[in-house]
Chains A and B, each alone.
Chain A
């Protein structure tokens, strides 16, 4: 027990991040109980500043919707977007990276050129093109984020896989005649998992940021309350009621910070000798 505590104490950032994140998840799960089921509902007079009316702790927005309700319900959508995009990008990156690193040669070349494509194109611009082509729904936004972020994971996983391939136990497996698929699944994948896992929370943070940027640019889904949509609609009143923009933006900031802290901590724990560069 004390050993574990000591391990955790080495990564205080991760502990803080994890706690904050758990708080946000808790709020998101209890959203309907905390503020009622529909954050889009017109709940009171518009333009109430935070604290002006005890019934609306964080005030009301341009249409009279409860900002607190928006924040807690938005937490749910934002986390869903983050989690879905993070997991999917990590999974795609893991598969592509492992295959590229393990097989090497032309497979590697083709896959890595393909990954490079998405790193050279400005990622936000490409996501915007996708959203314009298919239409702005949460699903499409997630897909757009995944498409532009998997290469980061793939590159890391590939490097691990390349190193593994030279290792004795993989060589041994080849010698005893295991087929590639089995080697990939049994030996490579589990051992290259850690860089992908570390990336999940950072990717999730990026996904939340990207969604908010898209909503800001007017490409959000108006049927759900996301933090990005809140910033987008609040910005109209930036001059007179900046709190409408500040509050959801702050929520994004806190969540993404927590996710990054967690990611750094996990990285330190999993690869104690290799420090996170970012």
Chain B
């Protein structure tokens, strides 16, 4: 789940750079999108066949959950899901659907996969974005303080804290937060997204959701805050040693001013790269966090899709999350021009 050191060589490759098809006269972003297609297809294919290898299919699971069931009933279910066709035929028909932008039907949930994913995407996205924003904000600040401070004790404290935050199992942290804030102190709800008993609207409703979000967000954020703190600190130290910063300092710019004008923009570059790279891991983290906090998001949906052998749903989630991650990486790349002062200078 971690990326150690992002050396400059990597950076020049621009995130998850895909430069292998260097076709002329096609805009860079189109190239990137085209290159992503085989990757996404491969992910779908691999998981399709892998899940087909798993013992039991959706009919078995549903039968098992139904209590008493004859094998005839299982066969009947299997037939109605189309799971009795050959694996290859199913694969081809799945691909056909995908090409028509149809993610298929989740028999387990009795709903189209796209609907299910859309329903959950917002809540997971909301959680992830909030956590990410908090961790970037706090992480940058702390990392900057650690990197710039003259007091070794402050630096040491922040560094140690971030090392520990980086090493804590996320779900365990969540459980401990629940013990403290929900059980012992009874300040915050232990799970869910809103209080279902008393449907609140307007400001009260927003506050209600906010209360439910505090613990899961905090939990996700602590881990990423640790990463960003360390990244920022390293980045600050790195850039401080470079000539243009020394020059600025020599010209009499204040410490804070230097930080604001020179160090921050430069460090943001690596921040952005890292965010793109960490997105997959962030989603992984949300799987356990959503389970701990009963957060109705994509992570939980993915888990239940695996458990119930709901192939269409699992593939749909993988497809959507992969495309999403690829898109973010593309945006990351494109934002380089905006963020990298050196790119600007050379233009």
Contacts and interface: CB of A to CB of B under 8 A. Distances in A.
Chains A and B touch (C-beta atoms under 8 A apart): yes
Interface in A120-143: 120-126, 128-130, 132-133
A274 B306 contact: no
30 contacts: A117-B46, A119-B277, A122-B284, A122-B321, A123-B281, A124-B284, A125-B283, A125-B302, A125-B306, A128-B303, A156-B4, A156-B5, A156-B7, A159-B9, A206-B1, A209-B169, A216-B171, A216-B172, A231-B171, A242-B179, A249-B176, A257-B167, A260-B163, A260-B167, A261-B163, A267-B5, A275-B5, A277-B6, A277-B231, A278-B166
A125 B320 CA distance: 14
Contacts, number: 192
A60 interface: no
Interface stretch (A29-37, A41-49, A176-184, A197-205): A197-205
A113 B39 CA distance: 7
B343 interface: no
Interface in A207-233: 209-210, 212-213, 216-217, 231
Nearest to A254: B167
A53 interface: no
Given A257-B166, A260-B166, A276-B5, 4 more contacts: A202-B2, A217-B291, A235-B175, A278-B2
A274 B5 contact: yes
A275 B43 contact: no
A238 interface: yes
Contacts of B141: none
Contacts of B169: 209, 212-213, 216, 231, 249, 252-253
Given A125-B302, A239-B183, A277 B167 contact: no
B237 interface: yes
A209 B169 CA distance: 6
B278 to A, nearest CB: 10
Contacts of A277: 3-6, 230-231, 234-235, 270
Given A120-B280, A120-B322, A278 B287 contact: no
Contact of B39 (A116, A123, A130, A257): A116
